[in-house]
Structure 1
Amino acid sequence: MELFDAIYQRRAIKAFDPEHIISADDEKKLFEAAIQAPTSFNIQHWRFVVVRDKVLRAEMRKLGNDQTQITDSSLLVIMTADMKAWQKDPSRYWVQAPKEVADLLVGWMGPFHDGRDWLQRDEAQRSIGMAMQTLMLAAKGIGLDSCPMIGFDIEAVAKLINLPADHVMGPMVAIGKGTKAPWPKPGQLSLDEVLVNNTF
């Protein structure tokens, strides 16, 4: 599928075929695409929690307003990120860069993040968003549907997946074969309303 077709055709699908299975090759293709998403300092702090256990999914559905896509999609991915990835052997993020570039950016990473908990969280959430959109477009590109979800008990789901204290929760993404057409698009704001030239 062409990129612009995937962008315009991607919709939040609510009904999935529970019998559909995504092949291991296609699943790998999706996540290999997702990790091409950019991250600040190339930290790559997203962590994709793939919920495969059916009992666990059923528990999450109870915590997610009984949304059927939590149990019926082929893949359920919880988007999380390690807020302290900048501290964890940061030179590994730049192993293939020229030494002077690696030294500069690894050296800057600590002072940029240190003592700024709000920034660490913001960067983690920004990275989650970019990876999530990449994942959903990749799914559309191979003929699959997706649904991003934030309508669940975040703290309870974090507990179910044993989320480490230094990680942050993002949305869930359900991926699979949709069984119902989406609602018509509710309407986009005009570019005149959302595009600002230079200053407000």
Structure 2
Amino acid sequence: MDTLSAIRERRSVKHFDPEHEMTETEINGLLELTLLSPTSFNMQNWRFVVVTDQAKKDALRAASWNQAQVSEASLTILICADLNAHVDAERYWVNAPTAVREVLVPMIAPFYEDNPQLQRDEAMRSVGIASQTLMLAAKAMGYDSCPMIGFDPAKVAEIIDLPENHLIGMMLTIGKPLKDANARGGQLPYEDVVFRDGFPKKA
């Protein structure tokens, strides 16, 4: 499926075939595409916990107000982020020319250190970009997905052994749909959300 079709056809699906298993090749290919997502300073601060173990998926379902897709989808992925990714910045530019490294690497840590709000904002930006990449890649591979925030973050963190200084940005389920998504609820008018050169002045 081409990218434009994947964007148009991607929907949040709640009902997945619990018998379907994705192959390791499919899972790895899906995540390798996702890892091409952009991040600020190439920090790659996202971390992906890919859950296929049924008992663990069942535990996550219980922490997600018993939403069936969490345990019935082929994959349940917790898209997390490392809030300390700005530390040890040299590793993000190991393959860059020396001149590029010498300019960029010294900029990274000072930009984020002592600014927890910026660290969190950057983490959530990265999670959002990666999540969309993941959903579109899944759609292009013939799978559907459902992005979720409906879960108890403390319980989920315990289930996946979330390290300190990390956050959970989103849960995402991926699999073969048993039924189509509901009809779209309705898009806001284009002119209500898209403005040229700035917001319109109030009368």
Distance, in Å, in 2 between the alignment partners of 1:110 and 1:171 is: 25
Aligned match of 2:104:
105
Letter of the 1:5 partner, please give it.
S
Matching of residue 166 in structure 1 with residue 165 in structure 2: yes
Distance, in Å, in 1 between the alignment partners of 2:6 and 2:198 is: 32
What residue ranges of structure 2 are gaps of 5+ in the alignment? Answer: none
Aligned match of 2:37:
37
Matching of residue 12 in structure 1 with residue 18 in structure 2: no
Distance, in Å, in 1 between the alignment partners of 2:99 and 2:189 is: 45
Distance, in Å, in 1 between the alignment partners of 2:28 and 2:53 is: 18
Matching of residue 71 in structure 1 with residue 71 in structure 2: yes
Aligned match of 2:115:
116
Residue by residue over 1:89-134, the C-alpha shift from the partner in whole angstroms, topping out at 9 and shown as x without a partner, is: 2111111111111111111001110111000011011101101100
Distance, in Å, in 2 between the alignment partners of 1:28 and 1:185 is: 31
Distance, in Å, in 1 between the alignment partners of 2:23 and 2:131 is: 20
Residue by residue over 1:34-82, the C-alpha shift from the partner in whole angstroms, topping out at 9 and shown as x without a partner, is: 0111000000011100112222211111111111111000011001010
Letter of the 1:182 partner, please give it.
A
Of all paired residues, the percent bearing the same amino acid is: 46
Aligned match of 1:85:
85
Aligned alpha-carbon RMSD (Å): 0.9
Distance, in Å, in 2 between the alignment partners of 1:139 and 1:52 is: 16
Q: Secondary structure at the match of 1:14?
A: coil
Matching of residue 181 in structure 1 with residue 180 in structure 2: yes
Distance, in Å, in 2 between the alignment partners of 1:120 and 1:168 is: 11
What residue ranges of structure 1 are gaps of 5+ in the alignment? Answer: none
Give 1:199 shift.
Answer: 2.2
Aligned match of 2:189:
190
Q: Secondary structure at the match of 1:85?
A: coil
Letter of the 2:93 partner, please give it.
W
How does the TM-score come out when normalised to structure 1?
A: 0.97
Distance, in Å, in 1 between the alignment partners of 2:2 and 2:22 is: 21
Aligned length: 199
Q: Secondary structure at the match of 1:86?
A: coil
Distance, in Å, in 2 between the alignment partners of 1:110 and 1:57 is: 36
Distance, in Å, in 2 between the alignment partners of 1:191 and 1:94 is: 40
Mean Cα deviation higher: 158-167 or 78-87: 158-167
Aligned match of 1:54:
54
Aligned match of 1:153:
152
Distance, in Å, in 1 between the alignment partners of 2:21 and 2:76 is: 12
CA contact (8 A) 2:89 2:109 kept: no
